[in-house]
Chain A
Amino acid sequence: MPPLDPKSGGRALWRSLDDLAGDKAFQDAVGREFPLYADEMLAPSRREFLMLMGASVALAGMTACRRWPVENIVPFSHRPEGYVPGERLQFATSYDRNGAAIGLLVSSFDGRPIKIEGNPLHPMSLGATDPIAQGTLLQMYDPDRSTGLFERAGQGEGTPRTWDEFAVWAEPILARHKASGGAGLRILAEPSSSPTLLAQKKRLESVYPQAVWVEWDPLTRDAEREGARLAFGRPLRRHLDLGKADVVLALDADLFMDDPAGLSHTRAWARRRKGEDGVMNRVWAVEAGYSLTGASADHRIPVQSALVPVALGRIAARMLRSGLTLSAGCEGLREAIERFESHAFDDPRLDTIAADLLAARGRGAIAVGPRQPAAAHALAMALDAALGNSGNAVTYADDPEPARPGHLEAIAKLASDLSAGLVETLVILGGNPAFDAPADLDLAKRIGSVSQTIRVGLYDDETSSLCRWQLPEAHYLEAWGDARGWDGTAGVVQPLIEPLYGGRSAIEIAAYLAAGAWTPGYELVRTTWSTRLPAAGFEKAWRRVVHDGIEAGAAPALTPVFAAGWGGEVARLAEARQLGGDAMELLFAKSSAVHDGRFANCGWLVELPDPMTKLTWDNAALLSPSDAEALGVKAIGDLVTMSLPGGSLVLPAFILPGQAKGSVTVNLGWGRSRAGRVGNGAGVDAYPLRTAASLWRAEAKLARTPGSAMLATTQDHWVVDTLGRKEEQVRAEELIRTGTLAEYRAKPEFAREMVEVPHAAPISTYPIEYNGHKWGMAIDLSSCIGCAACSIACQAENNIPVVGRKETWRGRDMQWIRVDRYFEGDPESPGLAFQPMTCHQCENAPCEQVCPVAATVHDHEGLNVMVYNRCVGTRYCSNNCPYKVRRFNYFNNHKHETAVSMMVYNPEVTVRMRGVMEKCSYCVQRINAVKIPAKNAGRPISDGEVVPACAQVCPAEAIAFGDLNDPHSRVRALHDDARCYGVLEEINTRPRTRYLARLRNPAEGKA
């Protein structure tokens, strides 16, 4: 990472493009801006050219004149020092989501950010990212973003304005508020961890003492905060170190992908799943919906969400009976806990959990999900303390904003103020409250009633349409800022590109509201950090922070003391009753694709299959098989109606084995009306059913409604008959070879012996020696959590198109690496196994032999290369691929790209035209990017230098890549590991990608 000179890196390289929105003009601009890749950017002409080329190569001679358009090379007028055109540069930054940040490294080509990766230095990222963090890149290039300022009088699209015009309008109003102490001023913001924004907030409070800063997060995690307040008398943050936990109990909690520290959790957990020297951690999951944690757990108990606290209570009771003593301050809990004994709900496995936790005193952790009530969190905290887990796997730190009222409380207050007419001016910084606030607060209507409303947002969305002013917000990749990780690690957010649409960051706006004048974000951030960093040698320290992206140092851990007198709260948990009959509990969940709805227009994410359902482009009512049967839901997509007191909703059903009986899960954030050309009309909006009283869980009546919807899944298309299901079960066992820790101890190579591999040696008339590099991959199924971060990483790296719902439904999804998902066992409580599947680079590749034009062939490093420009598209290779990992461009899949959205293309990879086959290349562009400079310098390539996109992003380090000829490479070691096996080896494809058998660690050795 070269040190970034804020002047050049932030500015000089860049001219604002907002005046160049017009297509032609913009393309010229692009041509000038990105000299050597002009052609990349102007892809349409480029693709025609590809076609022309293809057609004319051997016909050369028929056409006399020059065959392709004249192209300009536009060098810099003044090239920045040390800048090499056309080379990849990486910059560190941070991405703040729901008030917790992860560190990122963003690759940039000639000033175009084209790839987001994790910042290895950031403890909340450790070099990995999740799908959504990567999706933000496409979000920045989204042509449907708010392209400028708009003023709305009532309804309509509003009239375009400039920042100056806005200032003219705003100044008198701000002046008035200053005079009145800001009585009528409300600021509704989304959660943020930015120290600088916090500073602006303080400034605002000093300027407008009466003004109220309201914070709302539809995916609020306040329950835990309140739990801490209950237990310790003050809000605290609870941190888990899964590396120190032998036994983890996850109660309705997804520690991996629905957690601000998910990436670090995953890494720590995965490192303890290898079964090396015969030890592994064990995860118990008690949950209603199937979460990634549940899928990776060694035991999963499907339980209605309402009964999860009861399960915890019963476990607690068991432990008390077997002599666990509660720690000081918690004695009051005893009889509260004993009340659970008499509860109707019970499960024998709860005893085992209790025993397991007791056996692992000080080496365990109890995690409770954000959906559960505060008291459940408090109880878990008490038990952790009693078990001695606190201080080891479980630690506490101060809440960064202890004074902040709860999200729900805050927005409810705002709603009442609005209806009471106390609000003159409402400023909405980000978020999309009109869409995602609790329905019964009826915020949409109330916002509309305020005359002076200012909306700062990336999109001109549902909320903007109700506000007088829509101000374009600068994307975090476009603006200066800073952010703190969940653990408190602070980092700087630096821009990779000038705001495409002249947007300004929340920080700048907040500062403007306070000061009444514009200050560049860079100045504001610098000012904040001048107080954080030592004054002596600030410049040096500052540059270091900007370069590394973080300032090391998490919030210090502390050992809190319990408050007394909250037994009653816990006792109330025991009153939860099991739902039955036609009444079901409706659970609202975060969507793994669109998050809370803000990514509804991000093609990559909308088309990313949900890890469990493999559903794209839609959300659905997830039902357990037995409930589905009871309701008369035969196939996925059959419509059901949910009736709640507050209203009803018709949406397609999806039968998800493992969903708790009597509970139905619906993902939030879908069914947007003003998301953009991708998101509009995708899925069904569940927010209208969500009230302040039932933020996460409601009681609903379900009924089958005639008709059914077209749901596009990437697996299990159509109803698979029993014949197929049976076969699927049989094969899954051979594809994903699984063993218990005990079995592994007894016979480490158990996986190899599951399938007989007849071919000992390669049978070939022309045996090929791989003397140079011999690239290979190893995927550890024991640590893969199925998050599909690899799919998006690959999509971004390799210019993989988004094909849309209908094409996905047809079975033409394009992701080069997919994550296969297989259920195992009882459909009411099945196990779940994931298997990332991509081109195996077979040494004896069936696809190569059948291509009539030799468009797919082997190279001398064992790569099975696909030459797009030679492919005529017979699709024979795809037919003959036993892994079905080849992807065909049935249409021109880049047709709909705009000049802006094409800026995301990786110039190192050809954009494939219609009628061409494509597939995983082991990121050959990355191999060459390392190989050539290494050879220039005459040095060997060291292990870990070449990292494909999928391996780079994996939070679980499940994918290893390297040179099999290097005896010291990690991949070599893994290929020699006892657990290693090849999928379909028996048909002698000799795959270069091999898998490590999946290990489980069930209690008493049996699952």
Chain B
Amino acid sequence: MNQDRQSTYSFPSWVDDLKPLLAAVGLGLPVVLVLLFWYGASPATTAVGYAPPQPVPYSHALHAGQLGIDCRYCHDTVEVAAHAAIPATQTCMNCHTNIRAGSAKLALVRESNVTGMPVPWVRVHDLADYVYFNHSAHVRRGVGCVECHGRVDKMEVVHQTQPLSMGWCLDCHRNPDAHLRPPELVTQMDWQPPAQMTRAAYGRQIREKYNLNPSEDCSTCHR
């Protein structure tokens, strides 16, 4: 073939210098992929930290934390039903008819108490609608509130602390030990196992005692 022809294209010499670049890309690609999936699992996408403003500036830090009101005083159906009911206005008024009865912050609550229209709380922990989570099934087995909801007793405004993703659920269902505690202490936010004992070790005892074997069946959560 006539290489001398003017139009003949040949790679310029600097192309050779690109070889290391090629190598870099080859090596870098896996790293990029890893980063991608890491980002996919990061709070930015799993709604961790989601803290919507509530219509009433209710402080869990104050009520559950400082005043030490038990979770179940308000969320009273948590042990018997799938849903941990949001308290009725009535429940607030039990105390607030006397305490801070005139507080401006409570205006909406008082109004609701009179009109009978509910307070439109904003949902924080929101699972997909095809997921059927049952509070009683977990609380009665010694899974503490804190495991999923975090230190609510320290939250001025409630926010999501866990990804609540399917993988996250499965992690616990596969090895629950580190998340178990005596069922009667589920609402104790700062509970620790007895000294010189790891949570896993203690949780193991609980699991064996109550014969807990968390299911990984699809039908457990999806119907």
Contact = CB atoms under 8 A, between A and B. Distances in A.
A and B touch in the complex (CB under 8 A): yes
Interface of A: 32, 35-36, 39-40, 46, 49-50, 53, 58-64, 66-68, 70-79, 84-87, 857, 859-861, 863, 865, 867-870, 908-910, 921, 924-925, 928, 932-933, 935-936
A869 B219 CA distance: 12
Interface in B98-144: 112-113, 115-123, 126, 128-130, 132, 134, 136-137, 140
A617 to B, nearest CB: 30
B191 interface: no
B83 interface: yes
A75 B118 contact: yes
Interface stretch (B10-18, B21-29, B45-53, B170-178): B45-53
Given A60-B46, A928-B223, 8 more contacts: A63-B45, A67-B45, A67-B47, A73-B121, A75-B85, A78-B89, A910-B222, A925-B223
A162 B87 CA distance: 38
Contacts of B123: 70-73
Interface residues of B, number: 51
Interface of B: 36-37, 39-42, 44-47, 50, 52, 77, 79-83, 85-90, 112-113, 115-123, 126, 128-130, 132, 134, 136-137, 140, 215, 217-220, 222-223
Contacts of A58: 40
Contact of B40 (A61, A70, A908): A61
Contacts of A928: 132, 134, 219-220, 223
B184 to A, nearest CB: 14
B119 to A, nearest CB: 7
B88 A924 contact: no
Given A50-B130, A66-B50, A75 B86 contact: yes
A928 B77 CA distance: 18
Given A71-B123, A935-B137, A77 B112 contact: yes
B2 to A, nearest CB: 52
A869 B113 contact: no
A75 B119 contact: yes
A739 B88 CA distance: 62
Contacts of A62: 40
Contacts of A49: 128-129
B129 A50 contact: yes
19 contacts: A35-B118, A39-B129, A59-B40, A61-B44, A64-B44, A68-B126, A71-B126, A75-B86, A76-B89, A78-B90, A79-B85, A86-B83, A857-B218, A859-B219, A860-B217, A865-B217, A924-B219, A924-B223, A935-B140
B222 A867 contact: yes
Nearest to B215: A860
Contacts of B47: 66-67
B82 A86 contact: yes
B132 A78 contact: no
A67 B46 CA distance: 9
Nearest to B45: A60
A859 B218 contact: yes
A783 B209 CA distance: 47
Contacts of A85: 77, 81, 83, 85
A61 B140 contact: no
Contact of B116 (A71, A78, A925): A78
Given A75-B87, A859-B218, A869 B46 contact: no
Contacts of B87: 75
Contacts of B116: 77-78
Contacts of B39: 61
A32 B222 contact: no
B115 A77 contact: yes
Contact of A909 (B37, B79, B218, B223): B223
Contacts of A908: 132, 223
A32 B137 contact: no
Contacts of B85: 75, 79, 84-86
B222 A865 contact: yes
A698 B130 CA distance: 55
A846 B47 CA distance: 39
B182 to A, nearest CB: 15
B164 to A, nearest CB: 12
Nearest to A935: B137
Nearest to A32: B118
B140 A75 contact: no
Given A908-B132, A921-B223, A77 B117 contact: yes
Contact of B137 (A84, A861, A868, A936): A936
Nearest to B42: A61
Given A75-B86, A75-B88, A87-B81, A932 B134 contact: yes
A905 to B, nearest CB: 11
B88 A61 contact: no
B89 A869 contact: no
Contacts of B45: 60-61, 63-64, 67
B134 A72 contact: no
Nearest to B137: A932
Contacts of B217: 859-861, 863, 865
Contacts of B117: 32, 77
A547 B137 CA distance: 30
Contacts of B36: 61
A85 B85 CA distance: 7
B212 to A, nearest CB: 10
A812 B77 CA distance: 42
Nearest to A909: B223
B207 to A, nearest CB: 14
Nearest to B83: A86
Contacts of B112: 77
Nearest to A855: B218
A87 B79 CA distance: 13
B162 to A, nearest CB: 15
Contact of B130 (A78, A910, A921): A910
Contacts of B80: 84, 933, 936
Nearest to B44: A64
Nearest to B86: A75
A60 B88 contact: no
A730 to B, nearest CB: 37
A74 B121 contact: yes
A870 B222 CA distance: 10
Contacts of B134: 928, 932
Contacts of A932: 82, 134, 136-137
Contacts of B126: 68, 71
A46 B88 contact: no
Contacts of A61: 36-37, 39-42, 44-45
B38 to A, nearest CB: 8
B86 A869 contact: no
Contacts of B46: 60
B223 A77 contact: no
A76 B117 CA distance: 8
Nearest to A36: B83
Nearest to B217: A859
- Among A61, A859, A935, chain B packs the most CB atoms within 10 A around the CB of A61
Contacts of B42: 61
Contact of A75 (B89, B129, B130, B219): B89
Given A50-B129, A84-B77, A86-B82, A79 B223 contact: no
A76 B90 CA distance: 8
B41 A60 contact: yes
Nearest to B223: A925
Q: Which 7 A-B pairs have the closest CB atoms?
A: A61-B40, A859-B217, A79-B88, A74-B118, A60-B40, A75-B86, A865-B219
Contacts of A59: 40
Nearest to B82: A86
Contacts of A46: 129
A928 B39 CA distance: 36
B88 A72 contact: no
